Structure 1
Amino acid sequence: MQKKLAIIFLFLFLVNIFPTSVFAQDLDIHSPSAILIDSATGRILYEKNANEKMYPASITKIMTGILALEEGKLNDVVTASSNAVLSLEPGSSNIGILPGEEMTLEQLLQGLLIASANEAGNIIAEHISGSLEEFVKLMNQRAIELGAKNTHFVNACGLHDDNHMTTAYDMAMIARYAMTIPKFRELVSIDYMEMPPTNKYKEIRYLSNTNRLINRYRNTPQSNYLYEPAIGIKTGYTSKANHTLVAAAKKGNQEYITVVMDAKVENYTYYSYEDTLKLFKYGFENFSYQTIVKPGDILEESPVIEAKNNEHVILQADTSLEALLPRDVKEEEIIKESYPLQNIKAPVKKGDALGFVSYKYKGETLGKVNLVADKNIEQDPIEVVKNKTLSIMDTLWFKISAGVVASVVLLSIVLIIIARMKRRRNTFAGSKHKISYLNRHRKW
């Protein structure tokens, strides 16, 4: 029974794997493409052209970081190849890694995710897959697995290529997963750090996070975007992509991820940050986690076949369910859909899972809880015998057998009747013969 329920839950989860926005509001977002999602569930709270393909620039490095952490080991010692370092275009973001320089994979990730070092991306790609080309294949495959629908990566660092594209939605799904990896989450939250000397670089490297939401040293009096709830994650810029930004912020039990793409800068106003802060403000001010059901809440009642005293079972919620909802949501707007098991049969044990209840808001599934029995219910032996008898009588073989018996009985009755009729005829014929004989021999 529980296995069947698990299969149903899995199916309903897969059906809802790509969430859609149920909250539409004009936030005056300047960026051509933007999205706000709940980090815990992936639900879209706001989107603007979120599925339009755009150039990602260095937010590409989020995927590179994921694969490095999944496929490599942080203490791996990696030697930078000449191709990985010298193939970069002049002036691109780097931390000055030299050919032949040895660094741990963790140090390369620090350079990649904190200082946005392009050569670190190339070195990681060669270390994980042997070549950039093979690593890119892995990037695209993993992107699909994480829910990306319109992404095609060409390199590991985000340098411009006309075929290197993604969407705000896809990057939100990728970033959401990335933030579940503890080391990734730690690295993108670091505002500043010092990297020790290596075999080729004898001085300390100073890494400063490019994300102004978390790094006060990147801000200026004219454009200060330091945001206390911010916890990461990655910036990007090329002349073709303009400014891109994937960000995460957390207050209490609320955590959001935003993506803005193709954002402009005008008179010290960085619309990538302006729009991101608008999105966070909208999320924190208009939504909250609300309790829909608590453990032990009575949700259904059901008859129980073969139960003593004809008892019914009370079906309760086995766990609590909380969901992120608009603060002003009305109770009647949350739709409850019950799926209790049919034909529940005694005996029933307290805590048995006997179905589930699904809750929806504006057509979107918020979650599910199991329906469990509130008490033990014993089986009635008399009801069992009665039901078994009725069940046997309802079977095909019983009906055939009963038909045969009835036919035999009927035939026997018919034969008995025929025999009796014959005896009566014989008796009558004998009496008639006797009367005739007497008449002939009567003396007058």
Structure 2
Amino acid sequence: MRHNRIYQAGTFFLSAFLYVTAAMTPITALAAPADLNEAAAQQEERLTLPIQSNEIENWPEGPAVGAEGAIVLEANTGVVLYAKNIHEKLYPASTTKLLTCLIAARECSMDEIVTFSHDAVFGIQQGSSNIGIDEGQAMTMEECLYGILVASANEVAAAVAEHVAGSQEAFADMMNETARELGCQDSHFVNPHGLFDENHYTSAYDLAIIAKAFFQNELLSKIGNTPRHHFAATADQPDDFTVRNKHQLINGDTPYEGIKGGKTGYTDEARQTLVTCAEQNGLKLICVVMKEESPEQFNDTVRLFDYGFKNFTVTNVAENETRYNIDETEFFHTSYDIFGNSSPILSLNKDSYLILPKTVSFQELTSEISYDVSGENEVAAINYYYEDTYVGTASVDLAKATAYSSYDFDSAPITPAKTEPVTSGMDNTIFINIKIVLLVIIILAALTILVFVIRDLLINYSFSGSSRSVSRKKYWTRKKHGRNRRSSGSRDIHF
């Protein structure tokens, strides 16, 4: 009887549990579609947001994407091909880690040992992305970069920040300073991993600028383009495991030609963020989408890459430019001497190129000359625009034969106004300040005259000395002959 009561009681509680579970199940089932519907509605709303690059006359029309902010930027020139709210401040989530790894790679060698502190391991949000490293364990910096970029491990990003700067707060200061140096305009960072903080934000433009610097580093590009990575057990880290990159254009789930790497990111507030780099036909494009819904961040990235590679082309400046024909300016020729004529002192850099829409010709561009340059042999830069949209720069360089010259071309920064397209009747010269060159010419001329004067003085002195020598010789000869004549009884003859 007692057992029956126990059985009945157990059955009752089990039935009650199943009933409650069944009753709750419809509520749970209904919640997910509601969330999905809300996300889909937000996605549809973002699809209708204006695309600023589409407002440029005769510019190739870019695709509508569901991201709040999106950009396609050419990595070698910094030319923006596609722009949608590119300066809107948004949350970057784990794409923050591109900047974290860029700073770590600049500050540290890859064989440095990073030890995980209590704060690095337990200071991150519980359940957020990690690889399970325990307090006191250690890895090389290179392995840490794989952990950050392939597995998006937050505790690894925190440990690297502490290793580089002493604390995560000090590292955040380094992040903001580096962002300013790179030219970021809309960013403020407070942590190395991108977990949500309302004071931790950036923009599509700034993320693209950070990615531009990131993909100039060969090691970071290699690590950032790794589909999966095996962590071998060591004395300082006893676990043996493999992680897989969640970036579908990197791991092969969404194949695309020429992928160079990238980084995923997600928080509830940021939604999906994605940074990707790809290279085809001489174009190296960086695509950033922010505040997107899965899996459209990958699909939209493919659409934006297709747009960039199909509608834009690389155009060499030296092969097309006729308005600044420096080679015909005969004054600026030299062969190690200012008056030579075997090679030009100044020339357009033959490797300089622009990124032009296939709908635009070189002759439609306007340009401006800037003397605010920092290259070793650069004298000036010619910036090119189409409809006030920057399309690239060509440098004006000193010829290599005179690279050692210390001539100062008065290269103080100026801000000249943009020029209108130059007509064929214009003089084919480039106007530069040559005051110092003229001064050098005057000094050389003065030195030349001085050399001639000294030479004449030396010659005159030499002839005078020779005359005196001859006179002395004649005097002693006559005196000797006179003695001889007196000794023979001859009479002295005076002249």
TM norm structure 1: 0.67
Q: In structure 2, what residue type is equivalent to 1:299?
A: N
Are the structure 2 counterparts of residues 356 and 132 from structure 1 closer, same or farther at C-alpha, using a change threshold of 3 Å?
closer
Matched, 1:369 2:396: yes
Are the structure 2 counterparts of residues 190 and 303 from structure 1 closer, same or farther at C-alpha, using a change threshold of 3 Å?
closer
2:290 to 261, 265, 268: 261
Q: Offset of 1:200 from its aligned partner?
A: 5.6
Cα distance in 1 for partners of 2:398, 2:158 equals 52
Is contact 1:334-1:359 (8 Å) kept? no
Aligned-pair identity (%)? 35
Q: Deviations over 1:202-240 (max 9, x none)?
A: 331202112110102xx3xxxxx2223211110000111
Q: Offset of 1:358 from its aligned partner?
A: 3.0
Q: Offset of 1:337 from its aligned partner?
A: 6.3
Q: Offset of 1:83 from its aligned partner?
A: 1.4
Unaligned residue ranges in structure 1 (runs of 5+): 1-19, 220-224, 306-310, 340-352, 373-383, 389-444
Is contact 2:60-2:357 (8 Å) kept? no
The residue that corresponds to 2:359 in the other structure is 328
Is contact 1:304-1:313 (8 Å) kept? no
Alignment of 1:1-400 (within 5 A): 23=59, 25-199=61-235, 201-216=237-252, 219=253, 225-265=254-294, 270-294=295-319, 299=325, 301-302=328-329, 317-320=347-350, 321-335=352-366, 358=382, 360-362=384-386, 363=388, 364=390, 365-370=392-397
Is contact 1:94-1:118 (8 Å) kept? yes
Q: In structure 2, what residue type is equivalent to 1:366?
A: T
Cα distance in 2 for partners of 1:303, 1:177 equals 40
Are the structure 2 counterparts of residues 155 and 329 from structure 1 closer, same or farther at C-alpha, using a change threshold of 3 Å?
same
Cα distance in 1 for partners of 2:147, 2:278 equals 22
Please, which moves more after superposition, 296-305 or 144-153?
Answer: 296-305
Cα distance in 1 for partners of 2:308, 2:147 equals 31
Are the structure 2 counterparts of residues 197 and 289 from structure 1 closer, same or farther at C-alpha, using a change threshold of 3 Å?
same
Is contact 2:318-2:348 (8 Å) kept? no
Q: Offset of 1:313 from its aligned partner?
A: 11
The residue that corresponds to 2:422 in the other structure is none
Partner SS, residue 360 of structure 1? strand
Q: Deviations over 1:252-292 (max 9, x none)?
A: 32110011000013xxxx12112111111111001111223
Q: Deviations over 1:32-77 (max 9, x none)?
A: 1001100001111111001001111000101110111111221111
Cα distance in 2 for partners of 1:128, 1:238 equals 26
Q: In structure 2, what residue type is equivalent to 1:262?
A: K
Partner SS, residue 141 of structure 1? helix
Partner SS, residue 153 of structure 1? coil
Q: Offset of 1:361 from its aligned partner?
A: 3.2
Q: Offset of 1:161 from its aligned partner?
A: 1.1
Partner SS, residue 248 of structure 2? coil
Partner SS, residue 243 of structure 2? strand
Cα distance in 2 for partners of 1:67, 1:208 equals 24
Q: In structure 2, what residue type is equivalent to 1:260?
A: V
Unaligned residue ranges in structure 2 (runs of 5+): 1-51, 333-339, 371-376, 400-441, 447-495
Q: Offset of 1:166 from its aligned partner?
A: 0.7
Q: Offset of 1:314 from its aligned partner?
A: 10
User: RMSD of aligned C-alpha atoms?
Assistant: 3.4
Please, which moves more after superposition, 359-368 or 140-149?
Answer: 359-368
Q: Deviations over 1:91-130 (max 9, x none)?
A: 1000110111121111111100111000001100111111
Are the structure 2 counterparts of residues 355 and 142 from structure 1 closer, same or farther at C-alpha, using a change threshold of 3 Å?
closer
Aligned residues: 331
The residue that corresponds to 1:442 in the other structure is none
Cα distance in 2 for partners of 1:72, 1:119 equals 18
